[in-house]
Chain A
Amino acid sequence: MPRIMVVDDEASIRMLYREEFEDDDYEVIEAEDGERLLERIAREKPDVIVLDIKMAAYDGLDLLQEIRQHHHDLPIIISSAYGAYKGDYKTLAADYYVVKSSDLSELKQKVKKALEGKVPVKAKAER
């Protein structure tokens, strides 16, 4: 069962994602902020991360850079209420960018696509 780590400081969003993704046979891990996130990723080994940008104590785009430096191939999907961040070059480090909506079909589609992604040569290269 693929594991999704949802990093979002809003409990209602985490709950919504949990319900929706568990219904689709994903395992959901919640993180309410960036506290010890790298350690958690190393320990819990998610298959994909859904990451908020504007969190009370953390900047999701900084977290994105930090995760990417350590996990080159871990799929990360930005899920933000703000479309304007799409213009920020930091988002290039994410696999996909989804604007938050009560309809999760786009997010689900991107999660599926991120998990389907296959780049065999790079797996060899990033040693």
Chain B
Amino acid sequence: MTCGGGEENPEGVKQAEVVVGIPSCNEADWIPFVTEQAAIGLATYFPGYRSALINCDHGSRDHTRSAFLSVPTPVPKISLATPAGVTGKGNALRSLFLKALELGARAIVVVDADLRSITPRWIKNLGEPLLAGYGFVSPVYVRPRFDGTITNHFAYPFLRALYGRRIRQPNGGDFGFSAEMARLYLESDLWDEHVSLWGIDIWMTTLAIQSPYRVAQAFLGGPKIHRIKDPGTAFNSMFVDVLYTLFRLLESHEETWTQVRWSKPVPIFGLGPGENESLPPSQANEEQFHQACVEGFARHLPLCRRVLAGEVLGQLAEVARLSFEHFELPPDLWARAVYDFAAAFHAGKEPRADLVRALIPFYLGRACSFLKSTRGAQPHRVEDVIEQQCLIFEETKPYLLERWLETGSSSAG
């Protein structure tokens, strides 16, 4: 196997048992700190192992690559870059899978390049379970209530209800995986355009849950501080990729998720006393979400009429008439809307890209409702609300099964 794209390996690294990968795109200002912390983590907690840091870049136009390579570190560094014109976090991680296997890595940890709260312990907590035999390690951290909206309102409750595993941050961006999982990812025939972009994190988590390898979580403390994107704008493309990926994987894993009832916890490593839970103030624009929900519903109404069950459509229409002050999109309605769209995606009668885009307004509506109801709430209260939403997704799952069977399947659009 060869590594695609450009590679700089100034120290001629040929072997590494523990690898930290840092995917990036235009992160020159942010990557030096993450590189430093990851290097300290490798040197401190994995002193008996050969290790390496790998930056896998996807289309940076700034000097991310040189910013990474110029950080003085006690472990060697390799820089990978996707070929010109090829972008996407998924593509960057694919080059990491290849390189990590080429180096003979046993444990591969990935951390985002824009982190501010990363400490060397993150590397320990994500890496150690891999050396103890786990195949995949997902992060758990405290996040501001306006951060991780796709995770909180879609990825976590949906994945948990469907596959029965409570992986709190399935789309967190920071994780660890074994060489066996890297091989499984490379050999999977479920790779597509959405996975090559932002669908990669949820794709990796879902495949790990379905794999023969054990999954764990690592507590990384809190709060997670990184460059926060506005859920109302920059997150739309991420939402499309995540949703498309999850919906598509339902078809490949139909035999298993239809048998799952309720959910089970997953072991957590790295928990310690006295974690800092103070969070930065809210920055999300709730009114903007409300407006986007109302306008989006009107724009996608013809498609919604074909896709949503009559009762769900009627209730959503009522919700869309509410002013911002009285606006509420309750979790049970959100769950049924998601399940209606999942069934329609499976049916293949509507263009899949249209379906995925048409769900965005309701996602923003649910996020708006959640943010309104958790104003000023402590993190544990916010978690309570998210937990309730998850239970509703689990309780409503028979509705998805019913709709799934009703709609049947035809060719994908």
Contacts and interface: CB of A to CB of B under 8 A. Distances in A.
Interface of A: 65, 68-69, 72-73, 75-76, 84, 86-90, 92-95, 113-114, 116-122, 124-127
Contacts of B211: 125
Contacts of B285: none
A114 B259 CA distance: 16
B166 A92 contact: yes
A120 B264 CA distance: 11
Contact of B265 (A86, A87, A95, A113): A95
Given A90-B268, A92-B166, A92-B268, A118 B261 contact: yes
B125 to A, nearest CB: 12
Nearest to A76: B265
A117 B262 contact: yes
Nearest to B132: A69
Given A89-B268, A94-B265, A95-B264, A119 B164 contact: yes
Given A120-B260, A121-B260, A65 B380 contact: no
Interface residues of B, number: 36
Interface of B: 140, 142, 163-166, 168, 209-215, 217, 219, 256, 259-268, 271, 275, 277, 378-381, 383-384
Nearest to B135: A125
B404 to A, nearest CB: 18
A18 to B, nearest CB: 26
B210 A93 contact: no
B275 A89 contact: yes
A92 to B, nearest CB: 6
Nearest to A97: B387
Given A94-B265, A118-B261, 6 more contacts: A87-B380, A89-B268, A92-B168, A116-B262, A125-B210, A125-B212
A118 B260 contact: yes
Contacts of A89: 140, 142, 219, 268, 271, 275
Contact of B209 (A92, A93, A117, A121): A121
Contacts of B379: 87
A87 B378 contact: yes
Contacts of A127: 212, 214
A117 B168 contact: no
Contacts of B166: 92
Nearest to B382: A87
Nearest to B380: A87
A103 to B, nearest CB: 20
A93 B268 contact: yes
Contacts of A116: 261-262
21 contacts: A72-B264, A84-B380, A87-B383, A88-B380, A89-B140, A93-B265, A95-B264, A113-B262, A114-B262, A117-B164, A118-B261, A118-B262, A119-B163, A119-B165, A119-B260, A120-B256, A121-B163, A121-B259, A122-B164, A122-B209, A124-B212
